[in-house]
């Protein structure tokens, strides 16, 4: 049984994410399985990289290999990245399985569902040290432009930049020299999130604001993404 499953979804960041996963699995000497069997979701990808219902599809696909699915997703604004969504999906699938007399019960384990990317980087640093963290930051990145270096402007890069600023805040380091502009959520989107998702919509807005809160008001330029680690 593979220790990790990576799905090739054919999305903008897919190629770079495959490279990052492969490098990480090789570094940790862990087995992993890459699945690309007709899972191309590029037709449903929004401009910000979000794909509707992506996590529900991936969880159900992974459950075909093992009913206990460990999801690495962290806390974000997306509606399918929160504990309530995972709990409801698990309940719905198991109710359907019971009706079909299926012996296997889906169990969704989400150890990082309440942790931001920046906080997770900080916990990684505490566990493995600054050298491993620098390696991670240099290799485990995704970018919608799919170039050899991060573009520093797409949605994936923007989240990465905010996470590194949060990491620096938690660790007491100087923040990275590069930054990204804060993104004020338009009122129309705020209203839609709240009307569609209720309290969860409010939580989505707050999660985004917390991430943006670590970015400085002014924006500095950088040619490439580098490690933000300073142990001095």
Q: Which domains does the chain have, with CATH numbers?
A: 4-109 (3.40.50.620), 148-212 (no CATH)
Q: For residues 81, 86, 92 and 97, what is the CA-based torsion angle, rounded to 10 degrees?
A: 120
Higher-pLDDT residue of 121, 232: 121
Residue 32 in tokens? 């992993």
Mean pLDDT for the chain overall: 81
8 - beta bridge partners? none
Q: Are strands 32-35 and 4-7 parallel, antiparallel or unpaired?
A: parallel
Higher-pLDDT residue of 216, 193: 216
Asked if 144 contacts 12 with a C-beta cutoff of 8 angstroms, the reply is yes
What is the Cα–Cα distance from 19 to 43, expressed in whole angstroms?
22
Closest CA to 173 of 125, 208, 222, 225: 125
Higher-pLDDT residue of 108, 207: 108
Rounded to 5°, the CA angle 112-116-117 comes to 95
Residue 29 in tokens? 């000497």
pLDDT (tens digit, 9 = 90+) per residue, 159-184? 899 999 999 999 999 999 888 888 88
By the 10 Å C-beta count (0-12 exposed, 13-18 middle, 19+ buried), 123 is classed as middle
pLDDT (tens digit, 9 = 90+) per residue, 3-29? 677 888 888 888 888 888 888 888 888
Confidence at residue 229, expressed as pLDDT on a 0 to 100 scale: 36
131 pLDDT exceeds 90?
A: yes
Confidence at residue 227, expressed as pLDDT on a 0 to 100 scale: 38
106 pLDDT exceeds 80?
A: yes
Element (H, E) at 70: strand 68-70
Confidence band of 155 (pLDDT split at 50, 70, 90): confident
Confidence band of 193 (pLDDT split at 50, 70, 90): confident
Residue 183 in tokens? 């993104």
Confidence at residue 186, expressed as pLDDT on a 0 to 100 scale: 82
Element (H, E) at 46: none
């Amino acid at each position: 049984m593979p220790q990790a499953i990576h799905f090739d979804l054919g999305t903008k960041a897919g190629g770079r994410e495959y490279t990052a996963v492969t490098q990480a699995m090789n570094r940790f000497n862990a087995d992993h399985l890459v699945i690309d069997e007709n899972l191309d979701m590029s037709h449903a990808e929004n401009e910000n990289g979000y794909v509707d219902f992506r996590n529900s599809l991936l969880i159900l696909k992974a459950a075909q290999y093992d009913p206990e699915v460990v999801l690495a997703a962290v806390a974000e604004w997306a509606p399918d990245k929160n504990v309530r969504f995972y709990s409801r999906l698990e309940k719905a699938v198991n109710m359907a399985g019971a009706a079909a007399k299926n012996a296997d019960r889906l169990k969704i384990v989400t150890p990082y569902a309440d942790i931001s990317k920046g906080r997770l980087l900080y916990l990684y640093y505490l566990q493995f040290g600054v050298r491993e963290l620098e390696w991670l930051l240099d290799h485990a990145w995704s970018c919608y432009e799919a170039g050899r270096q991060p573009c520093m402007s797409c949605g994936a890069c923007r989240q990465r930049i905010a996470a590194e600023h949060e990491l620096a805040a938690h660790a007491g380091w100087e923040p990275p020299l590069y930054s990204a502009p804060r993104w004020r959520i338009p009122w129309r989107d705020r209203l839609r999130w709240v009307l569609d998702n209720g309290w969860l919509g409010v939580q989505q807005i707050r999660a985004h604001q917390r991430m943006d809160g670590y970015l400085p008001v002014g924006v500095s330029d950088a040619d490439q993404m580098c490690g933000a680690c300073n142990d001095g």
